Structure 1
Amino acid sequence: MMLLYGRWNGDDSVDKFTHLIKLSVGTETVDDLLRWQKLRRVQTSDGLPRHVTRMWPKREAEILEGGSIYWVIKGLIQCRQRILRLDEVNGGDGIRRCAIVLEPEIHRTQSVQKRPFQGWRYLAPADAPPDLPASRQNDEALPVELNQALAEIGVL
């Protein structure tokens, strides 16, 4: 059986969900992303971080079944956040946009190289890097060059 998306449960069922992947433009580290989101959260009515995008995901139901947004920072997937919901946002220009509302907690992942791309993309669970163990979630980040070199050879 070939899985196009989802996670094999070991029995005859499959969790049908998908993730998003997005470049975190302008951030140098996961801590930069945390700081930026913290500043923006005070501007929201519910205090939750969000990323606003012009395109609405067609696979909304699959995303909301357990998907996360995986952040690419400096050419590496480095962390993820659980997606809580998708809210409609209308700007002053009258254009309908999608606010991807996120769980505040950021989970660091194993670093995986990712070439630049525009917008967001779907990411199958089978292709998503695993979270770092809980004991390493608060480790000091490696220098960017070392992190990239280790990801290139598949050590991280």
Structure 2
Amino acid sequence: MIHLVKLCVGVSSFEELESYRDERAHWWGADYGEEVHVHRTRTMPKRGDELLAGGGSIYWVISGVIRCRQPILRFQAATDKEGKDCCDIIMSRDMVRTLPYPKRPFQGWRYLEPKDAPPDMATGAQEEGSEFIAEELARLGLL
């Protein structure tokens, strides 16, 4: 099993990313239905089969911190408006909050080994303020 980690450029919060689920694929005319969330990227992951076979997710880095993940459902080859090949990453609409984990900026995506992925936040731990506390503990190296 393997995962992807990707910067969520231009998004400042988990809630803002949630708000894009319904409109993002429509920006470029893709129509995969309303039950998915789509992210378009330039290249098809070379380890795509491994991502799909193991139940991989995209871990989103928002404002320098991994804050959530989305299970990857499939990849779809596509062509952008300029006629260039690209890849649509089709994900579950479900966004799972993770324990906040600081991550330095990088370009593109990176593969993420399960042992290095932050754990999901417990359901009851998603109360207001708990994410801030968890982020501070992670920053201090205590999580």
Q: When the two structures are superposed, what TM-score results if normalisation uses the length of structure 1?
A: 0.80
1:9 aligned partner? none
1:1-156 paired onto structure 2 within 5 Å: 17-40=1-24, 44-47=31-34, 48-65=36-53, 66-137=55-126, 139-140=127-128, 148-156=135-143
Unaligned runs of 5+ in 2: none
Q: When the two structures are superposed, what TM-score results if normalisation uses the length of structure 2?
A: 0.87
Whose helix proportion is higher, 1 or 2? 2
Relative to structure 1, the CA distance from residue 57 to residue 34 in structure 2 (aligned partners, 3 Å threshold; closer, same or farther) is same
Tell me the CA shift for residue 155 of structure 1: 3.9
1:8 aligned partner? none
Partners of 1:40 and 1:57 lie apart in 2 by: 20
Amino acid aligned to 1:59:
R
Partners of 1:70 and 1:45 lie apart in 2 by: 21
**Residue-by-residue CA offset, 1:35-84 (whole Å, 9 max, x unaligned):** 01222256634122111000110001111021000000111001000000
Unaligned runs of 5+ in 1: 1-16
Tell me the CA shift for residue 130 of structure 1: 0.3
Partners of 1:69 and 1:141 lie apart in 2 by: 24
Partners of 2:32 and 2:105 lie apart in 1 by: 32
Tell me the CA shift for residue 148 of structure 1: 4.6
Tell me the CA shift for residue 136 of structure 1: 2.5
Name which of structure 1's ranges 24-33 and 128-137 shifts more when overlaid on structure 2.
128-137
CA RMSD across the alignment: 2.0
Partners of 1:136 and 1:38 lie apart in 2 by: 26
Percent of aligned pairs with the same amino acid: 43
How many residues were matched structurally?
138
Partners of 1:126 and 1:95 lie apart in 2 by: 35
Q: Is the 8 A contact 2:99 2:131 kept in 1?
A: no
Partners of 1:141 and 1:98 lie apart in 2 by: 37
